[in-house]
C-alpha cells in the first residue's frame, strides 16, 4: 500500500512540475496583481462584434467544462470596440445580462454572435436584440420587464465596473483574467487544448 501511495504521489508531483515547466510567466501569462481572489474565477472579456471572440466560443465551452466546480466563470462584455457605438454596445451588455437572468446565456449569446457574424446583420438598438431573443423563444414582455429591472441595471453597472478595473490590462479581446491575478497570453504555437489547459492550470494558482 505504501509503495502504491508513493507511486501516485510521484506521478502527481511529476505532472505538477511538468505543468510549471510548460507554462512560463512572461510568455504564457502575466502577473497583474500581488493578491489572488479569495475563490478561483475566470473572467472572459469579450465583444459580440469581435470576430476572434466569435471563433473562441467553442474553446470557451471547453474551458468551462474543464474547470473545477468551485471555479466561477463570468463573461464581461466590453464597450470600447470600434465596430459599434457605445450605446449599442451597452444594449448588448444589457441583453447578455438578461440572457443570464433567464439562465439561457450560452444559447442567447450564441444567437447574437450568429446574427452579427453569420447572418451579417446589423444591431443598432435594444429593439434589434429583443427581436433576436423573441425569435429564440424569449417572451417579448419578459424581455422588456427585465431590461427595466433594477437587478439587470445593477448587473450591467457591475459589468462596466469590471471593465474599468482591468482597463489597463484589457486593451483587446478576447482576454482572460484568472483569479484576479493572472492574465493569460496565447502564443502562436499553442493548440486549442493548450489554451484550455493553461487557463485551467491558472485557476489552481494562488
Q: Domains of the chain: which residue ranges?
A: 25-203
pTM of the complete model beyond 0.85: yes
Write out pLDDT tens, residues 129-184: 999 999 999 999 999 999 999 999 999 999 999 999 999 999 999 999 999 999 99
Residue pointed to by grid coordinates 483587446? 172
| Residue 1 reports pLDDT greater than 80 | no
Using DSSP's 3-state secondary structure scheme, residue 70 falls into: coil
- The reply to whether CATH 3.40.30.10 applies to domain 25-203 is yes
Asked if 117 and 55 count as a contact pair (C-beta separation under 8 A), the reply is no
Convert the pLDDT of each residue in 56-101 to its tens digit: 999 999 999 999 999 999 999 999 999 999 999 999 999 999 999 9
* Interacting residues of 15 by C-beta distance below 8 A, sequence separation 6+: none
**For residue 160, what pLDDT is reported?**
98
Reported as a single tens digit per residue, the pLDDT across 11-41 is: 333 444 455 679 999 999 999 999 999 999 9
75 neighbors 109 (Cβ within 8 angstroms): yes
Amino acid at each position: 500500500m505504501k509503495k502504491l501511495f508513493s507511486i501516485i504521489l510521484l506521478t502527481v508531483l511529476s505532472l505538477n512540475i511538468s505543468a510549471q515547466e510548460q507554462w512560463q510567466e512572461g510568455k504564457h501569462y502575466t502577473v497583474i496583481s500581488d493578491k489572488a481572489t479569495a475563490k478561483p474565477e475566470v473572467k472572459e472579456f469579450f465583444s459580440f462584434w469581435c470576430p476572434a471572440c466569435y471563433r473562441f466560443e467553442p474553446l470557451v465551452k471547453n474551458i468551462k467544462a474543464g474547470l473545477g466546480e468551485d471555479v466561477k466563470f463570468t463573461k464581461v462584455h466590453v464597450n470600447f470596440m470600434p465596430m459599434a457605438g457605445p450605446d449599442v454596445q451597452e444594449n448588448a451588455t444589457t441583453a447578455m445580462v438578461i440572457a443570464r437572468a433567464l439562465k439561457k446565456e450560452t444559447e442567447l449569446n450564441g444567437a447574437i454572435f450568429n446574427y452579427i457574424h453569420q447572418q451579417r446583420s446589423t444591431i443598432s438598438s435594444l429593439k434589434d436584440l429583443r427581436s433576436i431573443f423573441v425569435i429564440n423563444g424569449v417572451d417579448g414582455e419578459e424581455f422588456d420587464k427585465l431590461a427595466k429591472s433594477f437587478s439587470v441595471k445593477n448587473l450591467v453597472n457591475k459589468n462596466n465596473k469590471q471593465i474599468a478595473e482591468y482597463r489597463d490590462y484589457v486593451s483587446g479581446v478576447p482576454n482572460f483574467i484568472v483569479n484576479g491575478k493572472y492574465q493569460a497570453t496565447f502564443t502562436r504555437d499553442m493548440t486549442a487544448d493548450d489554451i484550455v489547459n493553461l487557463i485551467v492550470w491558472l485557476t489552481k494558482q494562488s
